[in-house]
Copies of this chain bind each other. A is one copy, B any other.
Amino acid sequence: MEERSYNQNCALAHALDVIGERWSLVLIRELLIGPRRYKDLMDGLAGIGNNLLASRLKELELANIVERTILPPPAGSAVYKLTSLGRSLESAVQELIKWGFQLNNKGQPENLSRPEWDIVAMRSLFQPDAAKGKNGACQFQVEDVFYYVVINNGRVEIELGEIRCPDAIVTTDRKTLAKLGKGMDVNTAINNNHLQITGSVLKFSEMLALFKPGD
C-alpha cells in the first residue's frame, strides 16, 4: 500500500503507477471475462500468491478500477468486477494482446491454459472492417467452458454463457481453436476429431475468418 510511483508528469507513468505493478493487468484481464469471485481469480491467476491477490484487489479498488459487490440472493456471494474506468482499459489490453501474438510464444506445454482467456483474445483479434454487413451467432464449448460469439454488422459480442438458437454449436479444445485461428482447415480438424460442429459449418468458417492477428 505504499504507493510506489515513477514520479513523472507523464500520462504513461500515471497509468503505470496504477496498473503497472506485477499481476495487475493479468488480474484485469481476468475481470474483463466477467465478474469473478476471489476463488475464480485465484484459479485464473494461478501462481499469484494469496497475499498479492488480496493487496492488488485492494489497490485497484482504491484506484476505482475494481469494485466488490455482493450478488443478490440466492447467490449471495461476493464478486469483483470492473468499474467503468476499469473497463476502459480494455483497448490497452487488446493492443498488448495483439502485440503478444507477434512473439514467438514458445507455448511451453507446462504453461497454464484456460479457455476463458480466448474470450478476451478474440475480442482483440476481431476485424470490424471485414465484418461490415455480416452477422452470425456461434456457441462455443471449449473444454469445460461455454461462451458465445455474436457478430452484428461490424460489431462483436463475446461473453461467457449460452445463447438460444445459434447458427452453429462448436465443441473443441483450446489448442485446436488456436490452430484454426492460424489458418488450419476446418474440415481437417473435424476429420481428426478435434472439432465438432452442430449447425452451419459454413457460418462458423465465415465468422472464423473475421478474427486475425494482423491489423
Contacts and interface: CB of A to CB of B under 8 A. Distances in A.
A89 B85 contact: no
Nearest to A97: B11
Interface centre among A12, A20, A117, A121 (most CB of B within 10 A): A12
Interface residues on A, range: 35 or more
Interface in A60-88: 85, 88
A103 B14 contact: yes
A12 B100 contact: yes
Interface string A25-54: 110010000000000000000010000000
Number of copies: 2
Contacts of A15: 96-97, 99-100, 103
A93 B15 CA distance: 10
Contacts of A110: 7
Contacts of A91: 95, 98-99
Interface of A is mostly: helix
Given A10-B121, A12-B26, A121-B11, A88 B99 contact: yes
A192 interface: no
A111 B16 contact: no
A97 B11 CA distance: 5
Contact of A93 (B8, B12, B103): B12
Interface centre among A10, A98, A110 (most CB of B within 10 A): A10
B95 A9 contact: no
A59 to B, nearest CB: 14
A8 B117 contact: yes
Given A16-B26, A95-B91, A111 B8 contact: yes
B8 A26 contact: yes
Contacts of A111: 7-9
A5 to B, nearest CB: 8
Interface of A: 6-16, 18, 20, 22, 25-26, 29, 47, 85, 88-89, 91-103, 105, 107-108, 110-114, 117, 120-121, 124, 174
